Structures are given as C-alpha cells and as structure tokens.
Amino acid sequence: MKPKNETVVLDFVPELQEALEKIEKAVYIPMGFGELTITSGKDGEHHGKPVKGDKLDPHYMGKAADLRTRMIPFQQRQTVLETIQEVVGPAFVVLWENRGKDADHYHVQYGHIA
C-alpha cells in the first residue's frame, strides 16, 4: 500500500488501516491491479458528511481514504466496489465517486454516514 505522492497523509484509525490492508491483499493484488494506491487520506480538501457522532469530514478524522481506480477497467469497477464492500464488512461505507471522470475513485469510510 502506498500514497499517490508525498502530500498524501496516511494517518488512519486502526480499523481503516486494517481494512485497507485487506483490500490490497484480498482484492487489488489477486485481481491483478497491483499495489493499492491511496489518492487521499487526511490531506486535501474534503466536503464529505461526518461519521455519526463526529463533527468533521471522516477524512480529517482518519476514518476515510480514497483509492485509485484508473488501473481497473471501467466495466469492472462496480464489481470491484461490491467485492471491497464484502471484504471490509458492514462497519464500512464504500462509495464509487466521480464515476467515469478524471477524479474517479473509491471512497472507503469507517463508520456510517450521518
């Protein structure tokens, strides 16, 4: 697992860190997409909804990460999304954001959207 570049801050809560490792080992590598690349963590500007009980966007709380999708063929991205959700379980929300656009990515969030 690696950050997109040196500006990506990978300071995650333990639950998210463990989930990201599972995603890499159970989804990205076995499906032939290579090492998991985190395109955003606690860095950047986010406008997401807080996790229930929190006051900030989950990225700033270390509860969310965005994952690179560009190496995944577009027609497979929905299936990969569903596989990721199965791997991380119901304690996580997995979204496919900016579908088909330049910033296409998966958003993986520990906790439920308020």
The neighbour count for residue 112, using CB atoms within 10 Å, is 13
2-110 CATH fold: Muramoyl-pentapeptide Carboxypeptidase; domain 2 (3.30.1380)
pTM confidence score? 0.87
Contact 70, 105 (CB under 8 A): no
Residues 6+ apart with CB under 8 A from 32: none
What residues does each domain of the chain span? Answer: 2-110
34-88 pLDDT per residue, tens: 999 999 887 766 565 555 556 667 888 889 999 999 999 999 999 999 999 999 9
